[in-house]
């Protein structure tokens, strides 16, 4: 939806008085007991609509969808995430359409496709959108709270959350910003350095966390979530977002988690003839954050092992969250959704980090558990619908019994699990503007079997059969026997891009585009609200 058409909706969604809250919870000698929240922070009118569930929205950062026990990955110990899937649904075909941190979070905030929320690559989340998830949930009668990583701009921008407790992985984008986690760390461990382990947040080396486990940001995020759940006393239903900064690098799990992952269980990295030719000559083990780097099997396996251990660490904290809900008899009146903003290539095709169309980068976990008082649907479902981060906002609004704005592109995930998924999308759009190097600029479409990628820098194409080649090792675009399939998907891409004009398509085909196009015309300009 264009910005001008959205202004009236904003008036209905805006909630006065939303502000950043920096709680002071005091020192913690041990992870338990959890320091209580200040009840004054829960001030406000209680409004509860009949049948509204509580909602716990859990995000990991940079977690690929195939690193889950319930996805068949033997290296990953994830009993609590597996429990969510077993007692709810596992969406196997979940994606992040613009797979880097900030545009992914814009999709969560708005429920929109990249062109409509305006972020086509990695840049700053807009300061305000015509409708935003926290404000909509507040309007629906929910008390909203966010813990962990938001990656908003400015960093203390709440986008309508009643309160935030931030861990921003040491990033300082605004003058004087110090995250709540680092403020807490300075109080409880004033003589220690939170970065003592010595790995940067975009680097590939793996190392066990060198400080006490109770000081790790993953523990802190779990502690704060448990504190919220233990101390929440309002009649008003809550919407709690818990956003872990791991398994995103640094790959720094506590030693006990690292010891539990056996190298023989770690999946090998994927490699095809096309990727060896394109990326195999990039060999620079000293460039710790290189997005293309042929590091060899041994180093890559160690990174993957520590990544799996980071997931197990996050999973343990999620177990504490589920236990807190059960202890307060809340679980059966709570909708729990777990996902990630994007994946991590982890050396697949000699690529690292994110921003790629390939499964390791664009594929994400999507798990949902509903309470028995929330929804009647079979449990333990494995779903094959193409789902995306834009589907979260309408899912939460649907669960709350609230109206979904017409400008939302996503669909509620409650439909397919309830047998109402008719007419679900047959394909999904993916894209990312130039990042890391000029050639990394692409648009893509993915369906139940095929993935088509158009590389805008030089016009080259890729076609993968995801049923028979899920690791995308064989590019079929140059094969004579797949030219009809290629033409079909090229035409579908042209149709998808048609509204964008001649810069994007010409003569019924996508066109070469040099340079970055980070924003569409729908990206909200500063101060428009």
Active site residues: 101, 151
Contact 230, 328 (CB under 8 A): yes
Contact 81, 374 (CB under 8 A): no
Contact 523, 119 (CB under 8 A): yes
Residues 6+ apart with CB under 8 A from 60: 244, 246, 247, 248, 311, 314, 338, 339, 340, 365
Contact 183, 224 (CB under 8 A): no
CA 434 to chain centre: 20
Nearest alpha carbon to residue 487 among 450, 456, 457: 450
CA 367 to chain centre: 12
**Two tokens at 352?**
């690292």
Look-up of token digits 């910005």: 3
Distances (CA, A) of 37 to 229, 298, 492, 493: 10, 45, 52, 50
If 0-12 CB within 10 Å is exposed, 13-18 middle and 19+ buried, where does residue 281 land?
exposed
Residues 6+ apart with CB under 8 A from 93: 383, 384, 385, 386, 387, 448
Task: Report the run of H or E that residue 387 belongs to, with start and end.
Answer: strand 381-388
DSSP string, 316-330: HHHHHHHHHHHHTT-
The SS3 of residue 163 is strand
């Amino acid at each position: 939806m264009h910005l001008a058409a959205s202004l009236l909706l904003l008036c209905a969604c805006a909630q006065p008085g939303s502000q950043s809250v920096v709680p002071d919870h005091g020192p913690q000698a041990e992870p338990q007991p959890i320091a209580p929240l200040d009840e004054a922070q829960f001030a406000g009118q209680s409004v509860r609509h009949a049948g509204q569930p509580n909602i716990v929205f859990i995000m990991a950062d940079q977690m690929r969808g195939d690193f889950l026990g319930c996805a068949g990955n033997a290296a990953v110990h994830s009993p609590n995430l597996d429990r969510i899937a077993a007692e709810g649904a596992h969406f196997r075909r979940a994606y992040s359409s613009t797979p880097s941190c900030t545009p992914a979070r814009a999709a969560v905030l708005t429920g929109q496709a990249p062109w409509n929320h305006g972020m086509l690559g990695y840049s700053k989340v807009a300061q305000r959108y015509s409708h935003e998830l926290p404000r909509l949930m507040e309007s629906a009668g929910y008390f909203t709270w966010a813990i962990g990583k938001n990656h908003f701009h400015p960093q203390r921008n709440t986008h309508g959350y009643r309160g935030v407790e931030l861990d921003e992985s040491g990033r300082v984008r605004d003058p004087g910003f110090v995250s709540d986690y680092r403020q807490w760390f300075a109080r409880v461990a004033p003589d220690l350095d939170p970065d003592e382990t010595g790995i940067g947040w975009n680097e590939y080396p793996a190392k066990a966390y060198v400080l006490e486990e109770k000081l790790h940001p993953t523990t802190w995020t779990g502690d704060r979530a448990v504190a919220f759940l233990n101390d929440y006393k309002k009649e008003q239903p809550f919407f709690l977002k818990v956003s872990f900064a791991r398994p995103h690098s640094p790959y720094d799990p506590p030693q006990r988690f690292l010891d539990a992952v056996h190298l023989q269980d770690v999946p090998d990295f994927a490699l095809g003839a096309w990727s060896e030719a394109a990326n195999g000559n990039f060999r620079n083990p000293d460039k710790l954050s290189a997005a293309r780097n042929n590091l060899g099997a041994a180093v890559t396996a160690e990174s993957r092992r520590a990544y799996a251990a980071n997931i197990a660490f996050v999973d343990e904290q999620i177990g504490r969250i589920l236990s807190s809900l059960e202890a307060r008899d809340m679980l059966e009146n709570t909708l729990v959704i777990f996902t990630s903003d994007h994946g991590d290539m982890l050396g697949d095709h000699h690529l690292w980090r994110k921003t790629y169309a390939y499964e390791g980068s664009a594929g994400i976990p999507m798990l949902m558990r509903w309470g028995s008082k929330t929804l009647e649907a079979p449990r333990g479902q494995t779903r094959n619908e193409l789902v995306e981060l834009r589907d979260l906002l309408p899912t939460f609004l649907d669960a709350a019994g609230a109206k979904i704005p017409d400008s939302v592109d996503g669909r509620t995930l409650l439909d397919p699990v309830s047998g109402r998924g008719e007419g679900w999308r047959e394909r999904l759009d993916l894209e990312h503007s130039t990042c890391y190097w000029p050639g990394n600029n692409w648009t893509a479409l993915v369906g139940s079997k095929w993935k088509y990628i158009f590389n805008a820098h030089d016009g080259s194409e890729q076609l993968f059969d995801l049923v028979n080649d899920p690791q995308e090792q064989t590019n079929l675009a140059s094969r004579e026997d797949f030219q009809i399939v290629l033409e079909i998907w090229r035409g579908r891409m042209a149709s998808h891009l048609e509204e964008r004009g001649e810069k994007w398509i010409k003569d019924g085909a996508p066109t070469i585009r040099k340079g970055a196009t980070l924003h569409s015309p729908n990206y909200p300009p500063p101060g428009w609200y």
